[in-house]
């Protein structure tokens, strides 16, 4: 080394610059007044700003915080106290948190941002005052992304991207604390898609997944920004709405139901879903996360038990409900083999001539300890577990046996089918087998199905129904008006009877709307050549209005409650089963 170069080397400023420039680590030096004195190549590469632009300016912060890609700088000051932080960064320090080894400047917390870790080592003058700082910058974005990713996965559902149970519970807990302070209620909606297992089985899991994603999006679109829509597993979603009232919660439930009911495009055809929604509101229905979620969920199960497609508020006592449901579920497993099921029969009669035209077989279950459990409770459970198929087969067998006794009188026997039974590809063979076994003519049997069952996969339903129709078995559309009625499809189903849902009949004397709906159903049904039966007729007044609307037959307590076979025998023997004047 020549004396000249030796001298240069010893020039501390030059040496400092060389060291700073040669390191691959982004480094810059600032003075006490924030003026940049050194800005190395690595720093220029990282920020895209060359040394010529930076040295002599006070733009270090702007370099790291510039739009459009703001950076969250994590500033660690080596062993420096708060006074040093304030001296160097003053107003820039919007929030300070003590972190091991220094201070963290928290500015933005977006996972999309670039994350830089700035470690500043203060330079002290001879008198001990801070005269500047050497800052080393480390890009820790990939660590941060990884951290975010892990956190995201732990708190979100992979399929729909919605918050999961853990995150929702967390937010609910937070909302409840806040609500307690503000004395405002917090609402929880538990949304269960009806019969979704059947969708998965019938259309396959990939299609099921697509429908779930779509349903998730539709629910998201129903809520306000601050609300949370979470996926709680399989086909269940939970919405946290805060703060809210009973009215806003009910209208949110209606919006969700309407959004979910619109058709889903599945490959070349449309599919339909209905949902059951349970609502709970703090503090009336509970003030803890577990209470509110349980109450909303058990209200949702009550809706499902009433065949779904609606919403109900929690009635309180959710815990007790849940315990009984568990007992019912486990007792149900053995019900068939223990012969605890029986059938009751309810007559239907013509509105004009007052004659009994047939019966509907209705399943009953009486358990030695649980007592008699309503079908609206146990049938959805049988459906969920798939047991409805064997129980349904038993129902068909028993109903056909009973039908044979009345065939001479030209009376038919209606049996309710479950979606799972309808999706059995060999359903027509099974029915044929039952008819053959009892030597029964096919037209003594009528199968009742609902719109929502058909709409789930109309094309397949049409195939099955056509096969049944060509065998001579009659088909009826049950609970008409409660599902998503696609009138254009109605024409294509070989259905001979439409049963107007009880809910319209019960309001027909008081609600002009319901009366007009029934009138429209009768007109439309007749124009398609279908017979119209009104369900749940309880009063003479209702009967008269229905007669006026041109309805063909009625079923309901006015005529008779459902009864066991021996009582049916008595009922039919007494010449009483006539309706009012023809
Ligand atoms: P559904 O097929 O609509 O049957 C009519 C329901 O209305 C029956 O309830 C019947 O007891 C009730 N009902 C009849 N007349 C009146 C009336 O005037 N007023 C009132 N308030 N109610 C009346 P149930 O027996 O509790 O059955 C409920 C539902 O369970 C049935 O509705 C049907 O969907 C289902 N179900 C019953 N048996 C079977 C079965 O064997 N298989 C299947 N898959 N479902 C069944
Ligand atoms: Mg029915
Ligand atoms: Mg019905």
Ligand 1, atom 7, lies closest to the CA of 536
Best-predicted range by mean pLDDT (65-74, 100-109, 437-446, 484-493): 437-446
CATH of domain 156-316: 3.30.70.270
Helices 540-549 and 512-527 cross at an angle (nearest 10°) of 50
Q: Is it the case that residue 99 has pLDDT exceeding 70?
A: no
- Determine the Cα angle at 452 with ends 450 and 456, to 5°: 125
pLDDT at residue 346, as a whole number: 96
Helices 375-385 and 318-335 cross at an angle (nearest 10°) of 60
The single residue listed with the structure tokens 């459970």 is 381
* % of the chain surpassing 70 pLDDT: 83
Q: Is it the case that residue 396 has pLDDT exceeding 80?
A: yes
> Is 48 within 8 Å of 146 (Cβ atoms)?
no
pLDDT at residue 65, as a whole number: 56
CA of 3 to the centre of ligand 1 (A): 108
| Superfamily of segment(s) 335-573 | EAL domain (3.20.20.450)
Q: Is it the case that residue 229 has pLDDT exceeding 90?
A: yes
Model confidence at 364, in pLDDT bands (50, 70, 90)?
very high
Name residues contacting ligand 1 (CB within 6 A): 346, 362-363, 374-376, 379, 388, 392, 395, 416-418, 448, 478-479, 502, 535-538, 555-557, 562
pLDDT at residue 102, as a whole number: 35
> Is 107 within 8 Å of 65 (Cβ atoms)?
yes
What is the spatial distance between Cα 285 and Cα 179, in angstroms, rounded to a whole number?
14
The single residue listed with the structure tokens 């009376």 is 411
Nearest bound ligand to the CA of residue 481: 3
Ligand 1, atom 15, lies closest to the CA of 556
Fold classification of 3-146 is Beta-Lactamase (3.30.450)
Helices 427-437 and 388-406 cross at an angle (nearest 10°) of 40
CA of 448 to the centre of ligand 3 (A): 8
Neighbouring C-beta atoms of residue 42, cutoff 10 Å: 19
Q: Which residues contact 375 (CB under 8 A, 6 or more apart)?
A: 362, 363, 364, 365
Ligand 1, atom 11, lies closest to the CA of 562
Neighbouring C-beta atoms of residue 101, cutoff 10 Å: 12
Ligand 1, atom 21, lies closest to the CA of 536
What is the spatial distance between Cα 388 and Cα 422, in angstroms, rounded to a whole number?
11
| Greater pLDDT, 388 or 66 | 388
Among 63-77, 333-347, 399-413, the least confident range: 63-77
Model confidence at 486, in pLDDT bands (50, 70, 90)?
low
Among 219-228, 377-386, 405-414, 570-579, the least confident range: 570-579
Q: Is it the case that residue 488 has pLDDT exceeding 70?
A: no
Nearest bound ligand to the CA of residue 557: 1
Nearest bound ligand to the CA of residue 476: 2
| Overall average pLDDT of the 9-38 stretch | 84
CA of 371 to the centre of ligand 3 (A): 24
What is the spatial distance between Cα 219 and Cα 207, in angstroms, rounded to a whole number?
18
The single residue listed with the structure tokens 């949110």 is 252
CA of 448 to the centre of ligand 1 (A): 11
Q: Name the region of 527 (left: φ>0; alpha: ψ -120 to 50; beta: rest).
A: alpha
What is the spatial distance between Cα 388 and Cα 375, in angstroms, rounded to a whole number?
12
Q: Do domains 3-146 and 335-573 have the same CATH topology?
A: no
Q: Is it the case that residue 13 has pLDDT exceeding 80?
A: no
Look at residues 330, 324, 297 and name the one whose alpha carbon lies nearest to residue 313. Answer: 297
Tens digits of residue pLDDT in 526-575:
988 999 999 999 999 999 999 999 999 999 999 999 999 999 988 888 74
pLDDT at residue 408, as a whole number: 81
Q: Is it the case that residue 64 has pLDDT exceeding 70?
A: no
pLDDT at residue 473, as a whole number: 97
| Greater pLDDT, 309 or 240 | 240
CA of 444 to the centre of ligand 3 (A): 19
Instruction: Return the best residue to mutate from 358, 416, 481 for the ligand 1 pocket (most ligand atoms within 8 A of CB).
Output: 416
| Greater pLDDT, 196 or 98 | 196
Model confidence at 483, in pLDDT bands (50, 70, 90)?
low
Q: Is it the case that residue 342 has pLDDT exceeding 70?
A: yes
Ligand 1, atom 24, lies closest to the CA of 375
Ligand 1, atom 35, lies closest to the CA of 375
What is the spatial distance between Cα 301 and Cα 66, in angstroms, rounded to a whole number?
53
Q: Which two tokens stand for residue 38?
A: 């050194």
Ligand 1 atom having least distance to the Cα of 362: 38
pLDDT at residue 450, as a whole number: 87
> Is 388 within 8 Å of 377 (Cβ atoms)?
no
pLDDT at residue 71, as a whole number: 45
Nearest bound ligand to the CA of residue 307: 1
Instruction: Return the best residue to mutate from 362, 424, 501, 503 for the ligand 1 pocket (most ligand atoms within 8 A of CB).
Output: 362
Look at residues 302, 321, 325 and name the one whose alpha carbon lies nearest to residue 313. Answer: 302
pLDDT at residue 101, as a whole number: 35
CA of 499 to the centre of ligand 2 (A): 8
Tens digits of residue pLDDT in 181-225:
877 889 999 999 998 888 888 888 888 999 999 999 999 999 988
Q: What is the mean pLDDT of the chain?
A: 83
What is the spatial distance between Cα 12 and Cα 197, in angstroms, rounded to a whole number?
76
Nearest bound ligand to the CA of residue 500: 3
CA of 572 to the centre of ligand 2 (A): 21
* % of the chain surpassing 90 pLDDT: 40
Tens digits of residue pLDDT in 494-525:
999 999 998 889 889 988 888 988 998 899 89
| Greater pLDDT, 10 or 58 | 58
Q: Is it the case that residue 108 has pLDDT exceeding 90?
A: no
Ligand 1 atom having least distance to the Cα of 382: 44
The single residue listed with the structure tokens 């729909």 is 160
Domain residue ranges of the chain, discontinuous segments joined by +: 3-146, 156-316, 335-573
Q: Which residues contact 31 (CB under 8 A, 6 or more apart)?
A: 37, 131, 132
CA of 357 to the centre of ligand 1 (A): 18
What is the spatial distance between Cα 115 and Cα 533, in angstroms, rounded to a whole number?
69
Q: Is it the case that residue 262 has pLDDT exceeding 90?
A: no
Look at residues 275, 274, 300 and name the one whose alpha carbon lies nearest to residue 285. Answer: 300
Ligand 1, atom 17, lies closest to the CA of 536
CA of 479 to the centre of ligand 3 (A): 4
> Is 342 within 8 Å of 364 (Cβ atoms)?
yes
Query: Which letter does DSSP use for residue 417 in this model?
Result: P
CA of 533 to the centre of ligand 3 (A): 10
Q: Which two tokens stand for residue 350?
A: 């013509």
Ligand 1 atom having least distance to the Cα of 383: 44
Considering just the CA atoms, what is the radius of gyration of the chain in Å?
36
Look at residues 166, 168, 141 and name the one whose alpha carbon lies nearest to residue 154. Answer: 166
Neighbouring C-beta atoms of residue 171, cutoff 10 Å: 19
CA of 7 to the centre of ligand 2 (A): 104
- Going by their DSSP bridges, the two strands 371-373 and 356-367 should be labelled as antiparallel
> Is 348 within 8 Å of 551 (Cβ atoms)?
no
Nearest bound ligand to the CA of residue 560: 1
% helix / strand / coil in the chain, to the nearest 5?
45, 25, 30
| Overall average pLDDT of the 246-254 stretch | 87
Find residue 77's DSSP bridge partners: 120
Q: Is it the case that residue 98 has pLDDT exceeding 70?
A: no
Instruction: List strands edge to edge, sheet with 27-31.
Output: 36-39, 27-31, 130-139, 114-124, 71-77
Among 399-408, 434-443, 447-456, the least confident range: 447-456
Instruction: Return the best residue to mutate from 302, 375, 445, 563 for the ligand 1 pocket (most ligand atoms within 8 A of CB).
Output: 375
What is the spatial distance between Cα 315 and Cα 545, in angstroms, rounded to a whole number?
35
Ligand 1, atom 27, lies closest to the CA of 375
Query: Which letter does DSSP use for residue 156 in this model?
Result: B
Give how far Cα 200 sits from Cα of 205, 211, 272, 326, 515, Å.
Answer: 5, 10, 13, 25, 38
Model confidence at 106, in pLDDT bands (50, 70, 90)?
very low
Look at residues 528, 508, 517, 509 and name the one whose alpha carbon lies nearest to residue 480. Answer: 517
Helix (H) or strand (E) holding 553: strand 553-555
What is the spatial distance between Cα 205 and Cα 349, in angstroms, rounded to a whole number?
44
Among 96-105, 175-184, 251-260, the least confident range: 96-105
Q: Which two tokens stand for residue 10?
A: 């010893």
Nearest bound ligand to the CA of residue 563: 1
| Overall average pLDDT of the 368-377 stretch | 85
pTM: 0.56
């Amino acid at each position: 080394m020549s004396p000249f170069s030796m001298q240069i080397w010893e020039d501390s400023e030059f040496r400092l610059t060389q060291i700073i420039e040669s390191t691959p680590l982004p480094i810059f030096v600032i003075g006490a007044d924030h003026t940049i004195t050194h800005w190395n190549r690595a720093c220029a590469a990282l920020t895209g700003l060359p040394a010529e632009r930076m040295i002599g300016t006070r733009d270090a912060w702007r370099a790291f915080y510039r739009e459009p890609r703001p950076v969250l700088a994590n500033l660690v000051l080596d062993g420096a106290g708060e006074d040093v932080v304030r001296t160097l960064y003053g107003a820039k320090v919007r929030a300070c948190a003590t972190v091991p080894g220094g201070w963290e400047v928290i500015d933005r917390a977006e996972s999309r941002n670039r994350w830089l870790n700035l470690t500043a080592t203060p330079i002290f003058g001879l008198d001990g005052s801070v005269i500047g700082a050497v800052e080393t910058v480390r890009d820790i974005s990939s660590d941060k992304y990884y951290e975010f990713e892990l956190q995201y996965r732990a708190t979100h559902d992979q399929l729909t991207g919605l918050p999961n149970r853990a995150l929702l519970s967390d937010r609910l807990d937070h909302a409840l604390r806040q609500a307690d302070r503000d004395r405002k209620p917090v609402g929880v909606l538990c949304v269960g898609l009806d019969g979704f297992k059947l969708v998965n089985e019938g259309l396959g899991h990939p299609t099921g997944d697509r429908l779930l994603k779509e349903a998730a999006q539709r629910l998201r679109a129903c809520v306000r920004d601050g609300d949370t829509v979470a996926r709680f597993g399989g086909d269940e979603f939970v919405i946290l709405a805060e703060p809210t009232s009973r009215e806003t919660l009910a209208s949110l439930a209606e919006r969700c139901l309407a959004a979910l009911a619109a058709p889903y495009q599945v490959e070349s055809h449309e599919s339909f879903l209905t949902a059951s929604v349970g609502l709970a509101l703090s503090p009336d229905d509970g003030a803890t996360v577990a209470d509110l979620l349980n109450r909303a969920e058990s209200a949702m199960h009550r809706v499902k038990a009433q065949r779904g497609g609606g919403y109900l508020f929690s009635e309180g006592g959710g815990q007790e409900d849940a315990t009984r449901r568990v007992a019912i579920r486990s007792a149900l497993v053995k019900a068939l083999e223990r012969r605890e099921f029986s059938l009751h029969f309810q007559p239907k009669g013509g509105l004009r001539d007052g004659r009994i035209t047939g019966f509907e077989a209705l399943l009953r279950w009486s358990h030695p300890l649980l007592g008699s459990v309503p079908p609206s409770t146990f049938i959805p459970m049988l459906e969920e577990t798939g047991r409805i198929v064997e129980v349904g087969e038993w129902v068909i067998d028993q109903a056909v046996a009973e039908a044979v006794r009345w065939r001479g009188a030209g009376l038919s026997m209606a049996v309710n089918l479950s979606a799972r039974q309808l999706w059995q590809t060999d359903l027509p063979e099974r029915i044929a087998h039952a008819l053959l076994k009892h030597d029964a003519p096919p037209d003594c049997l009528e199968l009742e199905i609902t719109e929502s069952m058909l709409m789930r996969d109309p094309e397949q339903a049409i195939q099955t129904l056509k096969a049944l129709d060509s065998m001579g078995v009659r088909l009826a559309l049950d609970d008409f008006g409660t599902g998503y009625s696609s009138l254009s499809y109605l024409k294509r189903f070989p259905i001979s009877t439409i049963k107007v849902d009880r809910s319209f009949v019960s309001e027909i004397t008081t609600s002009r709307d319901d009366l007009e709906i029934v009138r429209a159903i009768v007109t439309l049904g007749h124009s398609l050549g279908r017979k119209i039966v009104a369900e749940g007729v309880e009063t003479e007044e209702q009967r008269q209005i229905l007669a006026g609307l041109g309805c063909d037959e009625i079923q309901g307590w006015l005529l008779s409650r459902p009864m066991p076979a021996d009582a049916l025998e008595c009922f039919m023997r007494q010449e009483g089963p006539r309706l009012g004047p023809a």
